[in-house]
Structure 1
Amino acid sequence: MTRPAILSAAAWQFSIDAHLNRFVPPSVVPHLPRPIAHFLGDRQPGHINPKIGNLIVIAWAFIGVFCGVSVVNVVGAHVPVFRGVDGGITTIGSFGAAAVLEFYAIESPLAQPRNAVLGQVLSSIIGVAVTKLFSFLPAARFEALRWLAASIACAAATSVMALTGTVHPPAGATALIAVTDDNAYHIGWWLVPAVLLGSVLMQVIALLINNVQRRYPTYWWSPETVGSFWGFDTKKTVAVTTTREDEEKATPPVDEGLEDPDPEMGHVTFTRTVSSVQQRTTVGSLGPQRHEHLRVVITRNAVVVPDSMFLRPEERLMLETLSERL
């Protein structure tokens, strides 16, 4: 294989959202009665989140984590099929880490409902499946290779979450627990509905607690546009200049000045431009190469990125969060 081919393979990208988002219907939350929509994370245009100190955030996180973990444990204790080998509660320790994300770091893409629920469920399925495969071995051999099964389960869960856009770090622990914990091993496939139930209960508590003074979730599925296949008239926030003729007619490049939007708008305008790209040519061992200098501009309530720059949903959300904090 030639060196240029190796270099091109190293740049391969895959985003499931690029293929899936157009089939996902837009959220119905904005159309619900205002009090309900508020506690589902929706805010009216022009709404500005109040500034609160970190002590208030910590206090709400304490209340949320306490309530979330308590509800998950109490409900799980009343479901007989979720009980372990000794009849006791099957405690899924990864919910402790999930609670930190869902009640404290609520702006993180890793804490959004898609990641918090689907990441946990997918990881539990993978963990139980790997355990079942290794359990075909003799008992002594299974115990000797349990460490290998745990490593495979965690690695596979991480890869699946990355490919499906559902990365949730506590879910990696869920895959490990499915293999290493005797109670989880005892209930087998019942671990999957136990994880699903716990994740949904945690989300319900998060919606109630986090929306008192903050906002959760930031999005339900993805910050990108969804539902185009079904012809929904979704709000488009990305304007792309695609041709050189359009570029010549476009507004001045971002480095020549970008007007600061009205700080009272309360939402971020996310635009793309190709007029900010500068190029230079260098000569190397592979011959002349053209390099693009890409510029990202972040101002109050506005983000401008080059059209040629690929952004994952979590990266886009990070830029918008920085813009809102300016």
Structure 2
Amino acid sequence: MPLRPSQWNFEIDDYLNPWLPAAPWKHVPYPIAHFLGHRPGPQRPLGNIAMIFWALIGVFCSLIIIEFAGRAIPSFEAHGAPIIIGSFGAAAVLEFYAIESPLAQPRSAVLGQLFSSIIGVAIGKLFALGSVSRDLTWLGGSLSCACAVAFMALTGTVHPPAGATALLAVVDPNVAHLGWFLLPVVLLDCVLMQCVALLLNNIQRRFPVYWWTPAEVGRRKQQEKSNSDYSSENGTKLEITTTHHLERDVSEEAKVVIKRGRVLVPDDMYLSPEERMFLEELSERL
């Protein structure tokens, strides 16, 4: 039977998100949570002049820190690593100016670079096995970038500068000669840029918008926990669960039910962390 167009779809988050833990903001002191991107209320709009100013400071500081680290680490110098991978110039634009873009969030910025580095090095080494490898560098670079884009799209980690990293790992001799040592170089650069972004972008703005995905996570664990709590006699512990497994408490009509110590929401309804916190506060006040 031929597949309908709507069936040609794959979302890795459909398989991963139910098993991931929920955001731990209730257990993190607010000053720390603030610089990790958490906000209890909506963010106040910021003029573009302030955004440009912070982008200027952020790009300069992050790149100079990465370059300094590249020059100061002995193993980097021993392997002949460049002071910075060129793709991080493009990454800095996303991380300090277009900070609300899904392409700039930590999941994409770190994992996209890591996956692309692995693919680029692997394909570079594969093409190096041939006797005419130098003549086929153009082919290896194209294949590397194409495979990196496809893999990032499948894993929800699309980060445009990472495509450049995969390309450079094959066609740029200054990067290609690093081999697998490119991975720690890229990871260190990613971590340093993310640290600067968390510090500077959260002074007047908000970064990241989310760490993994804007959709709900931890549904599987919530369902297992709700089933366990519902079968026990201790009903004092607060929980937010779905109505799919508590049909006796709500009607088939989609609705949000707030009880003392319990909030019931439809299993197809997404709640942001701020909305969940608001509902929990209402439940505790009953």
**TM-score of the superposition, structure 1-length normalised?**
0.67
C-alpha RMSD of the superposition:
3.0
1:66-125 CA distance string (max 9 Å, x none)? 01111111112222333487x463430110111100100111111000000000000000
Aligned length: 243
**Matched residue, 1:179:** 170
CA distance in 1 between counterparts of 2:239 and 2:170 reads 45
Per-residue deviation, 1:158: 0.4
Q: After TM superposition, list the pairs within 5 Å mapping 1:2-41 onto structure 2.
A: 5=2, 8-9=4-5, 11-41=7-37
**Are 1:99 and 2:130 counterparts?**
no
**Are 1:123 and 2:116 counterparts?**
yes
Per-residue deviation, 1:51: 2.2
**Are 1:206 and 2:207 counterparts?**
no
Contact 1:106–1:112 under 8 Å retained in 2: yes
**Are 1:79 and 2:73 counterparts?**
yes
Runs of at least 5 residues in structure 1 that lack an aligned partner in the other structure:
241-245, 252-269, 274-300, 303-326
**TM-score of the superposition, structure 2-length normalised?**
0.76
Q: Which structure carries more strand by proportion? A: 1
Equivalent residue for 1:50, pick from 19, 44, 54: 44
**Matched residue, 1:291:** none
CA distance in 2 between counterparts of 1:250 and 1:9 reads 29
**Are 1:60 and 2:54 counterparts?**
yes
Runs of at least 5 residues in structure 2 that lack an aligned partner in the other structure:
227-237, 245-250, 256-265, 276-286
Aligned in 2, Cα 1:30/1:65: closer, same or farther, shift over 3 Å?
Answer: farther
CA distance in 2 between counterparts of 1:13 and 1:159 reads 14
Question: Secondary structure, in 3 states, of the residue corresponding to 1:211?
Answer: helix
CA distance in 2 between counterparts of 1:104 and 1:160 reads 26
Per-residue deviation, 1:27: 2.4
CA distance in 2 between counterparts of 1:227 and 1:55 reads 39
Equivalent residue for 2:105, pick from 112, 117, 125: 112
1:156-191 CA distance string (max 9 Å, x none)? 000110111100011000000101111211211010
Contact 1:83–1:183 under 8 Å retained in 2: no
Contact 2:71–2:77 under 8 Å retained in 1: yes
Contact 1:127–1:175 under 8 Å retained in 2: yes
Q: After TM superposition, list the pairs within 5 Å mapping 1:110-189 onto structure 2.
A: 110-138=103-131, 141-189=132-180
Q: After TM superposition, list the pairs within 5 Å mapping 1:295-306 onto structure 2.
A: none
